[in-house]
Homo-oligomer: A and B are copies of this chain.
Amino acid sequence: MDHTTSPHGYIHNKDDYLKRLRRIEGQARGLQRMVEEEKYCIDILTQVSAMTKALQAVSLGLLEEHLSHCVVDAVAAGGPEAEVKLKEASDAIARLVRS
C-alpha cells in the first residue's frame, strides 16, 4: 500500500491487530496439536479460554475504534446516516455481549 487511504479509519493500529490475529491463529494451531496428542482436557480448556479472551480483546478494541471514528464522523456529518451507524454499533455490541 503506497498511499494511506483509510476508508474505515483504523489503519494506524492495523499492524497491532494483525499481530494479535496471527497469535490467535497460532493458538488455534496449538489447540489442534493438543487434541492430536490427546493432552489433558482441562489444559485444552484453559487454552480455549485464553484464546477466547484474546479474541474478545480484539473485538473490544475494534469496537472502540469504530465508535471513535466511524460513528463519530457520521454523527458529525449529521443526517440519517448517524442513526444507522448507531443502530449497527448497538447490534454489534449485543452480539459481542451474547457471544
Contacts and interface: CB of A to CB of B under 8 A. Distances in A.
Contacts of A24: 28, 31
B22 A32 contact: yes
Given A28-B25, A38-B6, A75-B76, A58 B67 contact: no
Interface residues of A, number: 62
Contacts of A99: 49, 52-53, 56
A46 B40 CA distance: 30
Interface string A54-68: 011011101111111
Interface of A: 6-8, 10-11, 14, 17-18, 21-22, 24-25, 28-29, 31-32, 35-36, 38-42, 44-46, 48-49, 51-53, 55-56, 58-60, 62-68, 70-72, 75-76, 82-83, 86, 88-90, 92-99
